Structure 1
Amino acid sequence: MKTILLFTAMLLLSGCAGQSAQGLGALFGGPGCGKPDADQQLALNLADEMLNEGRPHASLAHLEQLPNTLDQVRLRKARVSRLLGRSEAEPLYRSLLGGCLAAEGEHGLGQLASARGDDAQALQSLQRAVRLAPTDERVRNDLGVVLMNLGRYEQARFEFLTAIELKDDNALAAVNLVTLSLVQDNWQQATDLVGRLHLRPEQFADAQARARQVKSTGRGPIALANGAEAVVN
């Protein structure tokens, strides 16, 4: 019995020898995020509130008084910087890789890549994000958009359906799923989905506009940090 256990341990160690630090972190649960103190958490909440109110500059100002050593601060700075089109967004997202918010880092890098029209790079980053956070409906939706842009429609449909099932009121994924049916000129399927997903007339109109855009430019809209979207031609 001791021989079997020793052999198994040796196999595990030899397998781990070729793993990256990030891979080992995933294997053993990954590093934990440092917890902000009460004042820092209050500032983070205030920054979130201002961003949700459409005040990204004020949000960034509050974040700048917090230490960059906190992953939660760098993530929020990255999101606001991406929304404002600032170049700091990419290095901030990259600083999260291998840490407790690696999935968010990969997600942000995927959104940035898609925004500059690099769907191949966006696909790689978003696929890594999905592996790290398979139940995050936002990542699933954005991966679906990139797959739709690449013409990989059945895979895109899978991601949109997964996002919808993960969060019942995921209106963005529902609209994107209808958009995909319209891109494929499957109006009957689109009509059935509108009824099944209880989309409002204005949401169906949004799906039609998205489908026209995809057909004319080959690109759909990607989500931004505050729930708005950017259209890349």
Structure 2
Amino acid sequence: MKTALVVALAMAASGCANRPLNGGHTDAVPVPAPTSERVVEEPVAPAPVRSDFRPRVSCSTNVAPEERVELEMVDTLTARGRAYAALAQLEKTQQKNIEYWLRYGQLQAKTQQLQRARSVFETLVERCETGEAHHGLGMVMVKQGDLQSGLSALRRAARLLPASPDVRNDYGYALLMAGRHDEARFELITALELENGAGRARQNLAAAYMLSGDSAGLERLRQDYHYTDDELAHARSLANQLRRF
């Protein structure tokens, strides 16, 4: 039950995250179906932490013009919420650059192929050591219920990409899940300021203030960033979910 809630919360907050290169999960990600429904759909035993799929990834940053066109088509489909179609488009021709493989891992995660996504990001981390790879790996680990490993990967991503609002937001949210509210607030404030007061960090940061019982801080946040009643209601619901966790 605890693992199922970890997955649901992680999906609600971030989605795998990532904009096509620096975290594409500003898009809303649907909350997974209840556990009982998933059992019907996936009656087999859970896969091991590491799968046999070991992709031959490339760390090259060189993207030919025609390859860029293909990647932009994939990004358009992803932005429209058509992750399965985006993955099919991506698989038409395998490219030899890291942008291709980051999208491949992200789309595997979006289509719930978490073991395959984890293998992609683990390989990218081992061979390329990029912040984007650590970010993707951390988000997959959190979705799998491996919160502590996910935190470690996201912390590394934040060190490699300190000015990425998506990374700082996702790391902050994972810290909230771990009950580390003060640390989470630092990351989420950073994400909010990097986004000039916009983005998903708004609700996450408000929830962090609620969880720490800092009503004065929450009021300052509301005034400084002009929170709506709907946003605060969403943040309150999120905080209640995290308290149960």
Q: Normalising to structure 2: TM-score of the pair?
A: 0.71
Shift of 1:98: 5.0
Moved more, 153-162 or 101-110: 101-110
| Corresponding position of 2:19 | none
- Say which SS state the counterpart of residue 125 (structure 2) adopts: coil
- Counterpart for residue 28 of structure 1: none
Who is 1:158 aligned against?
186
- Residue of structure 2 aligned with 1:122, choices 132, 135, 150: 150
Question: 2-side partners of 1:66 and 1:183: how far apart?
Answer: 47
Partner of 2:207: 179
Alignment RMSD, CA only?
1.9
Given that residues 43 and 63 in structure 1 are in contact (C-alpha distance below 8 angstroms), is that contact kept between their aligned partners in structure 2?
yes
The DSSP-based 3-state class of the residue aligned with 2:200 is: helix
Q: Aligned residues: percent identity?
A: 28
Is the 8 Å Cα contact of residues 121 and 133 (structure 2) preserved in structure 1? yes
Partner secondary structure for residue 60 of structure 1: helix
Q: How does 1:1-233 map to 2 (within 5 A)?
A: 33-86=60-113, 87-97=115-125, 102-217=130-245
Code of the residue aligned with 2:70 in structure 1: it is A
Give deviations 1:47-67, integer Å, cap 9, x for gaps. 000000011111011110232
Give CA deviations for 1:25-58 in whole Å, capped at 9, x if unaligned. Answer: xxxxxx9733221211111000000000011111
Counterpart CA distance in 1 for 2:81 and 2:139 is 19
Which residue of the partner structure matches residue 42 of structure 2? Answer: none
* Matches of 2:95 and 2:116, distance apart in 1: 13
Secondary structure at the residue paired with 2:70?
Answer: helix
Assess if the C-alpha contact under 8 Å between 1:163 and 1:170 holds in 2.
no
Which of the two has higher C-alpha Rg? Answer: 1
Aligned length: 187
Q: Tell me the SS of whatever aligns to 1:97.
A: helix
Bigger shift: residues 98-107 or 35-44:
98-107
Answer whether contact 1:32 1:100 (CA < 8 A) is retained: yes
Partners of 1:66 and 1:73 within 8 A in 2: no
Query: Using the alignment, how far apart are the partners of 1:181 and 1:175 within structure 2?
Result: 10
Hey, what's the Cα distance between the residues in 2 that align with 1:68 and 1:88?
18
In 1, the alpha carbon distance for the partners of 2:66 and 2:129 equals 21
State the 1:131 CA deviation.
1.4
Give the TM-score normalised by structure 1. Answer: 0.75
Offset at residue 109 of structure 1 (A): 1.0
* SS across alignment from 1:188: helix
Q: Is the 8 A contact 2:71 2:100 kept in 1?
A: yes
Q: CA deviation at 1:126?
A: 0.6
CA distance in 1, matches of 2:236, 2:197: 20
Distance 1:106 1:167 in 2: 21
Q: Any unmatched runs of 5+ in structure 2?
A: 1-57
Q: Which has the higher contact order (CA 8 A, sep 6+)?
A: 2
